[in-house]
Chain A
Amino acid sequence: MTTPAGHISIKNVTKIFARTDLNSTLVALEGVNMEVRPAEFISIVGTSGCGKSTLLRIIAGLETATFGQAYCDGEPISGTNPKRGLVFQEHSLFPWLSVRDNIAFGLRAAGSYKSGAKLVEGLISIVGLSEFADSYPHQLSGGMRQRVSLVRALVVRPDVLLLDEPLGALDSFTRMNIQDELLKLWNEHKNTMILITHDVDEAIYLSQRIYIMSPRPGRIAREIPLRMSYPRNRGSSEFVGVRNEILRRLDFAKEEQEEYNL
């Protein structure tokens, strides 16, 4: 076997956005360092506007860092690559393609649709959408659409899967279902998962490590390793303990900032 791929390394990344309308600039990320091992599942938690999406887009290759550099398997990241898949929050399915063709898009782009047609059908049935394979995105519910997005990103077998609040717009029952599917898919494909979420429970339920980010400018405030075994029980004392700790630390981060501001 080859050495496992999917190592992400962020070295001192700073991202500054230009706000041309205000003729000013905005520091979105400042000095972010992060290491993600192959096949690891990590989450990035933080309040909105803390730059976590920007960080993910830099890893995806959709944005370039102003200072510092992001690396994937030792190579500096420049531009997108099907090795690093991304699942958006919503509205990113191609409305003119059926569920099947949406999922097959990556294979067609790689010119391997013929050999991968079975894989497409298999993934469709894993997420329970066999009946909807020929439906168009507007005919699906929000949960179904996100399942399709997930599978569409997985079909090209990426080493790294970046999840940008993929379940943020869904109701809590659908979320819990898809969270279990996500773990199942992770177990099967053994890829590196980087999840962005503002749902602390989701982060604890899914990941092996949690980064907490503080806003303006976006920085890594804390790194919390989780050693609970899967599947995790949302009601266990350990789970609740970790949640309280994270919430306390999120609050603590705020206190620190307030003190600093005084």
Chain B
Amino acid sequence: MEALRPRKDNEEVKMTGKTASLPPVPTASGQPLESRAPTPWELRQIEAAPKSKSRAAADRVICALPLFMAAIVLIQYKLTPNLADAATTNIYTGFILLMAFLVLVKFIRSIFSKKSFENLLEKAPLYTAGFLLSALYDYATLKTGILPLPYFPWPDRILNGIYEDRVLLLDCIKNSLILLFSGYFAGAATGLLTGLSAGLSRRVRYWILPMIQILGPIPSTTWLPIILIVAASLFGGSVFLIALGVWYPVTMTSMQGVLNIPKANFEAASILGASKLRLLFGVALPAAMPNIFQGLTQGMSVACTALMVAEMMGVESGLGWYINWQRGWAEFAKMYGAVIVICVTFSVVNFILNFIKRRVLRWQEGQWN
């Protein structure tokens, strides 16, 4: 603890005129770091004010809170009486147990590693709120019927809906992703091509800019009724629709990205003997990458919207079609289930996109620390 105090002792060292040898830097585990410089995380530990005993105990309780709440969810689900003639299964129990188990793994790791402890300490209130919400919802539907059927099915019913249709849902996910990425990549590739060339060449910009100004403000889904009639295949038409929605933001941002590149970068490259092709792919493209990724992220959200609309309006497969089809049967539990599946699918897609972005833009100053 001594070494964790802010170092006022440095002044003493100077006063007494001793040769300045700094005390060894302590790590979180108390071992000196020797000659190695501390990592950012270790540095935060060294510089942080020490915690009081009561504070440390309170932190442990906060970490355990999600587990308590999960227990309450299960007790509430199992022991309080259901509405009359409401059948329940153990799928909800299994789901809650699975979630509680994942938290438990984190909790056990937090006992041994200070890093995972801090991570859990930060996330624990959120997890607790998640369990609390599902308990409240279960209480309001299954136990009391404050939120009535058929509009508000209880969690167990929704999970059962997903479970029953799991094969069909997996197929829908597959079809949706194929459509999404076909359109997304087509749109992103054309967007990159037009955006980069418009940024580099005044003549291309002259023709592209008015196109962007006219087409840009039209939401791509506006074209759907026309495409449904004109397109030879619904799939092809939907790919075009999604691609159009992605094309616009990617073109805009990559053009802006190229226009923002300092002239010195191009000059330095051409002095080093870079060919036109290398100026495009070795300088313009990487230098514009931060902007391009803005467009790619924006484009992904546009693409997801266009996908849902296309599937609800015409395409006869995919998650959008599934949710609309279940509406026809008034299967509310399955509609809610589809919403959850859509949420998970798009979250995963965005997570992957973000991961790629972080890798590619590693070189950016202070962006990811």
What residues make up the interface of A, taking CB atoms closer than 8 Å to B? 60-62, 80-82, 84-86, 88, 91-98, 105-106, 108-110, 136, 138, 152-153, 156
Check A94 against B271 for contact (C-beta < 8 Å): no
Q: Is the interface of B mostly helix, strand, loop or mixed?
A: helix
Check A85 against B271 for contact (C-beta < 8 Å): yes
Check A92 against B268 for contact (C-beta < 8 Å): yes
Residue of A nearest to B272 (CB): A106
Roughly how many angstroms separate A93 CA and B363 CA in the complex, as a whole number? 12
What are 9 A-B residue pairs whose CB atoms fall within 8 Å in the complex?
A80-B271, A82-B272, A86-B271, A95-B363, A96-B286, A96-B363, A105-B269, A108-B282, A138-B365
Q: Distance in Å from the Cβ of B132 to the closest Cβ of chain A? A: 44
Q: With a CB–CB cut-off of 8 A, which chain B residues contact A84? A: 271
Roughly how many angstroms separate A191 CA and B364 CA in the complex, as a whole number? 35
* Choice from B271, B278, B287, B365 contacting A82 with Cβ under 8 Å: B271
Interface centre among B268, B282, B364, B366, by most chain A C-beta atoms within 10 angstroms, is: B268
Q: With a CB–CB cut-off of 8 A, which chain B residues contact A110? A: 273
CB 8 Å contact bits of B263-278 with A (1 = contact, 0 = none): 0110111111111001
Residue of A nearest to B267 (CB): A62
Given A94-B283, A94-B287, A96-B287, CB of A109 within 8 Å of CB of B264: no
CB 8 Å contact bits of B356-369 with A (1 = contact, 0 = none): 00000011111000
Given A88-B264, A92-B264, A94-B283, CB of A105 within 8 Å of CB of B363: no
Q: With a CB–CB cut-off of 8 A, which chain A residues contact B286? A: 94, 96-97
Residue of A nearest to B264 (CB): A92
Roughly how many angstroms separate A105 CA and B273 CA in the complex, as a whole number? 9
Check B363 against A136 for contact (C-beta < 8 Å): yes
- The interface on chain B, measured as residues whose beta carbon lies within 8 A of the other chain's beta carbons, has a size of 23
Q: With a CB–CB cut-off of 8 A, which chain B residues contact A60? A: 271
* Choice from A91, A138, A153, A156 contacting B262 with Cβ under 8 Å: A91
Check B270 against A80 for contact (C-beta < 8 Å): yes
Q: With a CB–CB cut-off of 8 A, which chain A residues contact B264? A: 88, 91-92
Q: With a CB–CB cut-off of 8 A, which chain A residues contact B271? A: 60-62, 80, 82, 84-86, 153
Check A97 against B273 for contact (C-beta < 8 Å): no
Check A156 against B273 for contact (C-beta < 8 Å): yes
Whether a CB of chain A sits under 8 angstroms from the CB of B200 is no
Whether a CB of chain A sits under 8 angstroms from the CB of B289 is yes
Residue of A nearest to B287 (CB): A96
Q: Distance in Å from the Cβ of B213 to the closest Cβ of chain A? A: 25
Q: With a CB–CB cut-off of 8 A, which chain B residues contact A98? A: 363
Q: With a CB–CB cut-off of 8 A, which chain B residues contact A94? A: 265, 268-269, 283, 286-287
Given A62-B267, A92-B265, A109-B278, CB of A97 within 8 Å of CB of B363: yes
Q: Distance in Å from the Cβ of B254 to the closest Cβ of chain A? A: 15
Q: With a CB–CB cut-off of 8 A, which chain B residues contact A105? A: 269, 272, 274, 282
* Choice from A88, A91, A95, A106 contacting B273 with Cβ under 8 Å: A106
Roughly how many angstroms separate A96 CA and B367 CA in the complex, as a whole number? 13
Roughly how many angstroms separate A153 CA and B264 CA in the complex, as a whole number? 14
Roughly how many angstroms separate A86 CA and B273 CA in the complex, as a whole number? 12
Report B218-277 residues with CB < 8 Å from chain A CB: 262, 264-265, 267-275
Roughly how many angstroms separate A91 CA and B289 CA in the complex, as a whole number? 18
Q: Distance in Å from the Cβ of B269 to the closest Cβ of chain A? A: 7
Interface centre among B270, B271, B362, by most chain A C-beta atoms within 10 angstroms, is: B271
Residue of A nearest to B286 (CB): A96
Q: Distance in Å from the Cβ of A232 to the closest Cβ of chain B? A: 30
Roughly how many angstroms separate A108 CA and B278 CA in the complex, as a whole number? 10
Q: Distance in Å from the Cβ of B30 to the closest Cβ of chain A? A: 29
Residue of A nearest to B262 (CB): A91
CB 8 Å contact bits of B336-369 with A (1 = contact, 0 = none): 0000000000000000000000000011111000
Roughly how many angstroms separate A5 CA and B40 CA in the complex, as a whole number? 51
Q: With a CB–CB cut-off of 8 A, which chain B residues contact A108? A: 278, 282
Check A109 against B363 for contact (C-beta < 8 Å): no
Q: Distance in Å from the Cβ of B230 to the closest Cβ of chain A? A: 42
Check B289 against A152 for contact (C-beta < 8 Å): no
* Choice from A62, A96, A97, A156 contacting B289 with Cβ under 8 Å: A96
Roughly how many angstroms separate A152 CA and B269 CA in the complex, as a whole number? 11
Excluding A80-B267, A88-B267, A94-B287, 7 further A-B contacts by CB distance (< 8 Å) are A60-B271, A62-B271, A95-B287, A96-B287, A97-B363, A110-B273, A152-B272
Q: With a CB–CB cut-off of 8 A, which chain B residues contact A82? A: 271-273
Q: With a CB–CB cut-off of 8 A, which chain A residues contact B283? A: 94
Q: With a CB–CB cut-off of 8 A, which chain B residues contact A96? A: 286-287, 289, 363
Residue of A nearest to B274 (CB): A109
Q: With a CB–CB cut-off of 8 A, which chain A residues contact B289? A: 96
